[in-house]
Structure 1
Amino acid sequence: MSIEEQQSPITSTQHGLVLGREKNGVLLFNGIPYAEPPVGDRRFKRPVSPVSWDDIRDATRFGPAAPQLPSGGMTDSVPVNWNEDCLLLNVCTPAIDQKKRPVLVWIHGGAYRSGQGAVPWYNGTSFALNGDIVVVSINYRLGALGFTDLSRFGDDYATSGVNGICDQIKALEWVRDNISGFGGDPSKVTIAGESAGGFSVATLLGCEQAQGLFCRAIPQSGATHHTLTDDVGKVVADLLMDELGVESIDELKSASVLDILKAQSRVDVRYNPMNIGNGVQAFYPVELNEVLPIPLRESIRAGVGASVPVLTGTNKDENTLFVVEKVSPEKLRYQAKAYGSESLVEAYREMLPGATETELAIELGTDFTFKIPAIRHVEDRLAHGADTWMYQFDWESRNGHLKATHALEIPFVFNTLTSSGVDSFIGEGELPQAVSDEMHSVWTSFIKGDEPGWPKYDLEKRTVKHFDDTSSLVDNGELPRLNAWEGIR
């Protein structure tokens, strides 16, 4: 490839030519449509392939994110330019040639309400340069526009409660059909994501319609406990329509995006506080439809996805990101009761002598939402002999309260510690580059088809790799917590 071709690379997709750009030794193609815009009559419907274009499409800039309200999270480290025309993806590749490289498809988090593939934390340059890996990041429909069950209005809306997942499947189909034009191998696709992205990866693992579109999976801080029953999905849809003051699908499709987002926020206020014990929120994927015909955990227990090797884990202090106020003894007991049993408080006091109510609340929330579901997901897979490795991220932020908080592992995995917004998470001082190097290397090896470098998880030893300044392997380290949650979570 000539210097000019490297600086202004052009490649082909099934729908037309795209123009990318070179930056820091890799080729970037951004804002490529993988589906028709879900606007107008296509709102709330399953995605369909995009219409082909005749000219060379400019793919040198990121496209818009899915519609969302300001989150105050890491996504806000870059401007969030959103538009309902959001079914776009980005490709970072070492080169456009005939070489068949492994592919990483990254699914962003954000509680199914916010986020985008353009976040600098997800920059794939290090994977491309150090691992010779093609990295794809995607946008998908969020919130009410992606997860409102409107199946009552007919077959056209049969998947409306899970359209965000349908978008992800459509993006994976695009990768299967087009990634060879970007130097990637469609038979060597790893899906990965964090938080709601991790929930999504676990959901895709249990989804028959997604099987064959990927060969490895990395759910980070995400498992199979994060879906809505169809009954709850209908309640959430009722609440949305009530807040919008509409009764028909035509009224819903003609409502402004901003009105829908504002109504979504009001539904959250009405629904979420009453359902703390379910571990889910309004506008999560809805079960019992053509995409998720049986409850997700039942699908995993039936062996769906068992042939896919999985690397999964959580962060030691996930919930420090969400608990910012002092917790009273009364609120702690309420939290434990909502989770299933007030006895959890005493069990955790015994495990963590001297811990304050706030610290206990953080531990309980971390385990209820993230750690225990991740372990249960692995246990469900083990019944079918599925190859699974577990990790825990232990490196503590120097920023006081946060410790090893939710999402902090992402810039370590991507080797993006100097990206915008990361410094406020890791705190001041020397960059923990050695920890990042180790994690980035493990993820790279796994994506390329190798084992991570420690024993698979089994019920006898329950080996977990702990990443820290000095990493370690721990056997049966979570047994006391698992015992406390037995029969509850």
Structure 2
Amino acid sequence: MAAALANAPAGAASDSLAKVRSGRLRGRYMQGVHSFRGVPYGADTATRRFQPALQELPWRGVRDALAYGPAAPQGSKDDGPGSEDCLYLNVWTPALRDGKPRPILFYIHGGAYNNGSGSDPQYDGSALCRRGDVVVVTVNHRLNVFGYLYLAQLGDARFVDSGNVGQLDLIQALQWVREHAAEFGGDPNNITVFGQSGGGAKIATLMAMPAARGLFQRAWTMSGQQVTAAGPRAATQRARIAMDAVGARDVDALLALPADALLAATRARDPSRVESTSLYFGPVVDGGSLPVHPFWPQAPAQSAQIPMVIGNTHDETRAFLGNDPANFALSWETLPAKLEKEQFVDLLPSVVIAEYRRLYPHYTPSEVFFAATTAGRSWRGAVEELEARARQGAPTWAYQLDWGSPLDGGKLGAFHTLDIPLVFDNTRAEGSRTGEGADAQRMADVMSEALLAFARTGNPNHRGLPQWETYGLERRQTMVFDTTSKQVDDPRGGERRLYQQAPFVQRGTA
């Protein structure tokens, strides 16, 4: 059928059929790409709350895979209300069962460990399929209290893995993808995981999880790091806070709660995060599924041979803090108090401000604010991971996106998430903030080709880029993506040295 459908008129849509371990699937073929949405890779987790998921149940006949599956329960209105029956993935591919070993790109969504899904229009894999002859997969998995509530110290052996079941869902999805790679025209031995923000953090964590060994061969992270995970003491303390927040005296009471009532735990105050009221949920060093911190005190040994790209955007925090007009009207008098609250690093604001004024004498107070909060809270984890990989001698490339969005007068610059539609070549997708100009498309051409080259060869270099060297501690080589991209040694080195005066602590893991 794949060959016949490939000869259909370019604009025509028709059915695609695939056979997976639990039954047959009906997808859609359009403009050279087969898509299958809402494909189950695990069973409903409602009866396995806080435990590793079971395999999906088989079905009879042909199951429609034409619509996205539900996201995990969460507070986000965009992806809510969600369901505990959330283990679904989506596949885009140029061909089915043709024996061609295409690279597989497996995208893990952001939203920290709390929100999000694999169904955002910016994650549509069609453009990458057409551009690079690859298979693209996106995935939903358990989040927040459902995916990362650590109950192992409360006396019930069923929940020994509870602090990491959201990660174990991703591992189960990767196993499904490897098992079905040939059916969807892909190579089971060439899987690239890529993800932004929380997705990058989940990838960093997977790199230290024994059960993930061998399930992917390359890793590309964007503005998302996980240097340390929560320890069992801190994670147990948070579990007790969560139980108090929902009025549960024991684990059985947690199991009896409806999903929406359990979500109230995510709104409890976290005593370790004075700047935020939300309770942190994330991976836990539990001695089993995650035996070590992902990138502390060293990069994970099991992933030393995996090529990795670690990227960030120049103006990360303009995405979070740029929505407040007051942050664009700061004075030298009002800046210190705002910086004290938002930099998330225990350095005197006066010291930070003085150094920024020395480094960048032309910066306004607001420009110092956005630059310092980016360096203090969003970029430091990337530097930590890059240094750990360099000490390990692992093949690693660093990038920084300097090209800024032209929208809103360009005031948000190269903000957090801007690189998503660029690497997906989806600048015109709903939700993209790149604009639809020629510069945006040129950036998408350069960045998506780098991702595709990396997926094919384990090296992001391509003809549209100047030479991009691996990252080393002596020069700290970094590809700066801009209208004219170039490799720069140690960009923002002064900022890096300033913030390295304070020890790095991944927020939420203490």
TM-score by shorter chain over 0.5:
yes
Q: Is the 8 A contact 2:304 2:392 kept in 1?
A: yes
| Cα pair distance change 1:483/1:102, threshold 3 Å | same
Match for residue 445 of structure 2 among 429, 437, 445: 437
- 1: CA distance between counterparts of 2:275 and 2:291? 23
Question: Percent same amino acid among aligned pairs?
Answer: 33
- Asked if 1:414 is matched to 2:424, the reply is yes
1:303 maps to 301
- 1: CA distance between counterparts of 2:52 and 2:373? 34
2:464 maps to none
| Cα pair distance change 1:132/1:225, threshold 3 Å | same
Which AA in structure 1 matches 2:69? Answer: G
- Asked if 1:66 is matched to 2:72, the reply is yes
Which AA in structure 2 matches 1:288? Answer: D
- 1: CA distance between counterparts of 2:440 and 2:339? 37
**TM value normalised by structure 1:** 0.91
Q: Is the 8 A contact 2:200 2:223 kept in 1?
A: yes
2:231 maps to 229
1:245 maps to 247
Q: Report matched runs for 1:151-170 at 5 Å.
A: 151=152, 152-170=154-172
Q: Report matched runs for 1:251-400 at 5 Å.
A: 251-265=253-267, 267=268, 269-271=269-271, 273-274=273-274, 282-298=280-296, 300-301=298-299, 303-323=301-321, 324-325=323-324, 326=326, 328-332=334-338, 334-335=340-341, 338-342=344-348, 343-398=351-406, 399=408, 400=410
1:86 maps to 86
- Report how far residue 229 of structure 1 moved: 2.3
- Report how far residue 436 of structure 1 moved: 0.8
2:11 maps to none
Q: Report matched runs for 1:117-266 at 5 Å.
A: 117-151=118-152, 152-225=154-227, 227-265=229-267
Q: Is the 8 A contact 1:312 1:389 kept in 2?
A: yes
- 1: CA distance between counterparts of 2:136 and 2:76? 27
| Cα pair distance change 1:403/1:4, threshold 3 Å | closer
Pick which of 308-317 and 219-228 moved more. 219-228
| Cα pair distance change 1:299/1:168, threshold 3 Å | farther
- Report how far residue 475 of structure 1 moved: 1.1
- 2: CA distance between counterparts of 1:213 and 1:87? 18
- Secondary structure of 1:106 counterpart: strand
Q: Is the 8 A contact 1:300 1:306 kept in 2?
A: no
| Cα pair distance change 1:255/1:182, threshold 3 Å | same
- Secondary structure of 1:297 counterpart: coil
- 2: CA distance between counterparts of 1:306 and 1:427? 38
- Secondary structure of 2:224 counterpart: coil
- 1: CA distance between counterparts of 2:364 and 2:110? 30
2:38 maps to 31
Q: Is the 8 A contact 2:428 2:436 kept in 1?
A: no
- Secondary structure of 1:39 counterpart: helix
- 1: CA distance between counterparts of 2:184 and 2:295? 35
| Structure 1 unpaired stretches of 5+ | none
Q: Deviations over 1:46-76 (max 9, x none)?
A: 12222222322221211111111135xxxx3
- Asked if 1:460 is matched to 2:474, the reply is yes
- Report how far residue 22 of structure 1 moved: 0.8
Q: How many residues align?
A: 475
- Report how far residue 297 of structure 1 moved: 2.0
2:411 maps to 401
| Cα pair distance change 1:302/1:12, threshold 3 Å | closer
| Cα pair distance change 1:405/1:32, threshold 3 Å | same
Q: Report matched runs for 1:32-51 at 5 Å.
A: 32-40=39-47, 42-51=48-57
1:10 maps to 17
| Cα pair distance change 1:244/1:80, threshold 3 Å | closer
| Cα pair distance change 1:468/1:337, threshold 3 Å | closer
Higher helix share: 1
- 2: CA distance between counterparts of 1:110 and 1:302? 24
Q: Deviations over 1:133-180 (max 9, x none)?
A: 000100011111111111124221112111111111111111121122
- The alignment's C-alpha RMSD in Å is 2.2
Q: Deviations over 1:11-67 (max 9, x none)?
A: 222222222111222001111111111103x01111222222232222121111111
Which AA in structure 2 matches 1:289? Answer: G
Which AA in structure 1 matches 2:66? Answer: T
| Cα pair distance change 1:174/1:469, threshold 3 Å | same
1:53 maps to 59
Q: Deviations over 1:386-439 (max 9, x none)?
A: 0001111111112243110000111011110111121xx235755621111111
Which AA in structure 1 matches 2:493? Answer: L
Which AA in structure 1 matches 2:295? Answer: R
- 2: CA distance between counterparts of 1:210 and 1:50? 20
Which AA in structure 1 matches 2:129? Answer: A
Q: Is the 8 A contact 1:226 1:284 kept in 2?
A: no
- Report how far residue 81 of structure 1 moved: 5.8
